[in-house]
Amino acid sequence: MKQTDAASTLATPLRFVKGVGPHRASQLERKGLRTIEDALLFVPLRHEDRTRLTPFRSLVPGQAATCSGVIVGVSPPPPGRSRVPFTVMLRDSSGYATASWFGWRYLARVLKRGQQLVLHGRVGRYKGAIVLQQPDYEVVENGEDERLHTGRLVPVYSLTEGLPQRALRSLMWRLVESHAADVEEVLPDSLRARRGLVGRAQAIRDAHFPETDATLAAASRRLAFDEGLLLQLGLAILRSRVARARGLALNPRGDLVARLRARLPWKLTGAQERVWEEIRRDMAAPHPMHRLLQGDVGSGKTIVAAQGVLTAIEAGYQAAVMAPTEILAEQHFMTFRQLLDPLGVRLTLLTSSLKPRERAARRAVLAAGEIECVVGTHALVQEGVDFRRLGLVVVDEQHRFGVEQRARLRGKGEHPDLLVMTATPIPRTLALTIYGDLDVSVLDELPPGRRPVVTVARSEGKRRAIYKFLREQVAGGRQIYVVYPLVEESEALDLKAATDMARHLADDVFPDLVVGLLHGRLGFEEKDAIMRRFKAGEIHVLVSTTVIEVGIDVPNASVMLIEHAERFGLSQLHQLRGRVGRGEWKSYCILLTSGHLTEEAQRRVDAMTSTNDGFRIAEVDLELRGPGEFFGTRQSGLPEFRAVDLLRDTSLLEEARREASAIIARDRELSDPAHRALRAELLARWRGKLALATAG
C-alpha cells in the first residue's frame, strides 16, 4: 500500500470500523481514541501471563496472581451496609477461593452463578480464608476465540464505563492484524541501528499481542523511545529558537541587590551563591534566560528570586511574579513586600478576587510603568494586563502551570527573562525531560540552623497526650500550627470543622492561651494582620486551613499538628512540615489520622515518618500519583505519555535527549528529507501546542 493510502487509512474514524458503531465509538472517544492510529498507539496497562494460571490451592497471601474459576455462590452486601464487601465464591479443579470488592454495587447485576471468571489481583487472608481483594475480572463467554484471552501474554487495557475488557481486546486484535503494517517508520535507519531498536510496525504489534516477554520488552522500549524523542525534539526546537532570539541584557551595577543583602540577618548559603551567579550571568546575556530553580522546602528560593527581581528593576524594567493560587500569590506578595519595600520598590498584587474598579486601577499603573513589581495569579496572563517594560517573569510551583501559560506571560514583553521555581524536587533526568526547554539550577543545601523535623503519626486515641505536649511546648516559649484539610468538594464542612476546632481549643483546651484562626475566606488585610500577630508571638496556637503551605517564616513555631493527615497529598504534607524547624529549637510534625487508612494513605504517612528528604518524598509521590498528575502534563501543554514510564525509563529518556540534541544541532527545523517522517509525526504529536506547528 502507498504511504498516502496507509496514512489516510490510519486516519479513519473508529466509528466506521466494522463492529464499532456510534455507541462504542463514543465510549472509545472518552479514552481519547478517535482514529485507527489512536487505537494502535493505545498501549495496554500491563500483560497477564495466562499461559500459567495459578490454581486456587497455590495462591499465596501477599502476592498478586492470575487465576480462573466458576462462580458457585454470590453474596451481595445487605442494603445500606457500605462497609460490607460484595463477595463471590469460586471453584477450580484444585479447590475453592473467594473474591471480594468494596463499593462495586453494580456487580450484583453482572456476576451470576455458573459464570467462568478470569481474575487478577492481590491475594489476602480474611478470617482464615484465601481472598482475592478488589481483583480485575473478566467473564469468559462461551464460543469466544479463547486464544485471544487465555493461554498467552494477554493485554489488559485502561477502560471506561460500559466498555468491557474483552470487547476492547477483540477490537484491538482486529485493528492490529489489519493495520499495524500500515504504520510508517519515522526513525532514520542509522538511528535505529545505533540504538538497537525494532521496527515501528513490529513494535506496535508486539506491544499489544507479544509472543514472549522479550518481544514485549523490545516493543515497549521502541515505543517509549519514540515518545521520548518526539518530546525532546519539540523542546529542543523551542530551546534553539529561544537561544537565537534577541533578549534583554540586564546587567546593572547591582546596587539594589547589595542593599538587600546588607539588610539580611544571615549569610547566603554556598548553594544560593552558586545559583544566583548562574541567574545573574543568564540575565546579563543578550538572549532570554530560561531557567528552572529547584529547591526543597526552606532552601531559600525566594531570596534568590528577589535578587533577580531587583536586577531587572535596577536595569529599568518591570518584574512579574506568578503563583498558581490566590493564597500563594498573597503570601508571595507579603514576603516580597517585606524584602523590597525598605528599598523603595513599588509593588502591587493582582488577583481575580479584587473588585473590578480596584483591579482596573492596578492594571493602569502597571501599564504606565509606575509599578516595578507585580505579584499575582494566572490573572497576569489574561487579556487587558499590559506592562510598560517587562524584563523578568518569575513563575512559582511550575508543575501547576502549563507550558502554554508561561509562553503567554513571556509574550507580554520583548522576550523577557524567565525564572521558574519549584519546591518539588525532581530527579535531574526527569527535570530535563519535563522542563527540557529550561536550564536547571538546584539549591541542594539548607540554610544553617535548619534542623530535621521529628515526624510522628498518631491516631485519635492519642489526642489528650498531644494536647499535653503542645502545652509543654508553649510553656517553653514556642508556638504551634494546627492545620485542617480544606477540600473543594466539602469546603463549607471543612471550614466549619476548622472554625469549631479553633473555638474548642480556645474555650476548652487552652483557655489561658491566645488561639488564632486563619482561612482562605478572610480578606487579604485580615490574613496579613493575623500572620503579623503570630510572627510577633502574640498568638500561641494558630489554627489554619492550608493557607500556610508556602512562604511563611516563623522561626519560633516548633510544632506542626496536621489534623486528618490522611486527606492531604504527600507534597502538601512535606510543604506543611517545612513551615517548622526554621529556628534553633527542636521541631515536630504530628500527623493525626482518623479511622482506617487506605493503602495509599498509609504509604504517604509512612513516607513522611521515614524521611525528611524531599527527593525521596517526590519519588514516592510520583509512584503513587503517576506522572500525568504529578507533573500536570495533562494541563501543561506537553504531549501525553502512553508508552513512557518516567520512573522506569530514565536512561532511555536520556538517550532520546542526546539524539534529539544531535538532530536539531544538524537540522534545526527538521527540513532534511531523512527527517521528513519524523517532522510529520512531531507536528501531529504536538498538534496545536506551543506554536510548534510554525516550525519552518
Taking alpha carbons only, the member of 143, 168, 198 closest to residue 24 is 168
In this structure, the answer to whether residues 600 and 460 fall within a common structural domain is: yes
- Indicate if the pLDDT at residue 340 is higher than 70: yes
Question: Could you read off the pLDDT of 435-471 as tens digits, one per residue?
Answer: 666 788 888 877 776 778 999 999 989 999 999 999 9
In this structure, the answer to whether residues 268 and 415 fall within a common structural domain is: yes
If one counts the domains in the chain, the total is 4
In this structure, the answer to whether residues 428 and 528 fall within a common structural domain is: no
The answer to the question of residue 145 being in a domain is yes
The answer to the question of residue 483 being in a domain is yes
pLDDT reported for residue 49: 82
In this structure, the answer to whether residues 322 and 434 fall within a common structural domain is: yes
CATH classification of the domain holding 66 = 2.40.50.140
In this structure, the answer to whether residues 399 and 485 fall within a common structural domain is: no
The answer to the question of residue 357 being in a domain is yes
- Indicate if the pLDDT at residue 695 is higher than 50: no
Q: CB neighbours of 17 closer than 8 A, spacing ≥ 6? A: 36, 171, 174, 175
The answer to the question of residue 400 being in a domain is yes
- 3 state SS for 492-540: HHHHHHHHHHHHHHHHHHCCCCCEEEECCCCCHHHHHHHHHHHHCCCCC
Taking alpha carbons only, the member of 256, 250, 253, 257 closest to residue 304 is 257
In this structure, the answer to whether residues 427 and 476 fall within a common structural domain is: no
pLDDT reported for residue 427: 65
The answer to the question of residue 222 being in a domain is no
In this structure, the answer to whether residues 116 and 66 fall within a common structural domain is: yes
Would the CA dihedral through 596, 602, 608, 614 be positive or negative?
negative
- Averaged pLDDT for residues 268-287: 94
- Tracing cell 503517576 back to the chain, one arrives at 626
The answer to the question of residue 243 being in a domain is no
- How far apart CA 656 and CA 328 sit, in angstroms, is 36
- Indicate if the pLDDT at residue 146 is higher than 70: no
pLDDT reported for residue 329: 87
In this structure, the answer to whether residues 21 and 72 fall within a common structural domain is: no
Question: Could you read off the pLDDT of 383-442 as tens digits, one per residue?
Answer: 788 999 999 999 887 555 556 666 676 677 778 998 988 877 676 666 666 666 678 888
Question: Could you read off the pLDDT of 59-100 as tens digits, one per residue?
Answer: 998 888 888 899 999 988 887 676 778 899 999 999 999 998
Among 218-222, 355-359, 401-405, 549-553, where is mean pLDDT lowest? 549-553
**Helix (H), strand (E) at residue 405:** helix 403-410
In this structure, the answer to whether residues 591 and 464 fall within a common structural domain is: yes
Among 37-46, 140-149, 349-358, 608-617, where is mean pLDDT lowest? 140-149
The answer to the question of residue 662 being in a domain is no
In this structure, the answer to whether residues 121 and 263 fall within a common structural domain is: no
Taking alpha carbons only, the member of 2, 8, 3, 10 closest to residue 41 is 10
Read off φ and ψ for residue 528, nearest 5 degrees: -60, -45
Q: Are the CB atoms for 407 and 384 separated by under 8 Å?
A: no
- How far apart CA 1 and CA 671 sit, in angstroms, is 25
Report CA-CA distances (Å) from 660 to 239, 240, 303: 12, 12, 35
Question: Could you read off the pLDDT of 287-304 as tens digits, one per residue?
Answer: 888 888 988 777 888 999
In this structure, the answer to whether residues 432 and 476 fall within a common structural domain is: no
- How far apart CA 282 and CA 280 sit, in angstroms, is 5
- How far apart CA 209 and CA 137 sit, in angstroms, is 19
Expressed as residue numbers, the domain containing 187 is 3-45+179-196
CATH classification of the domain holding 467 = 3.40.50.300
In this structure, the answer to whether residues 335 and 404 fall within a common structural domain is: yes
pLDDT reported for residue 635: 46
pLDDT band of 694, cuts 50, 70, 90: very low
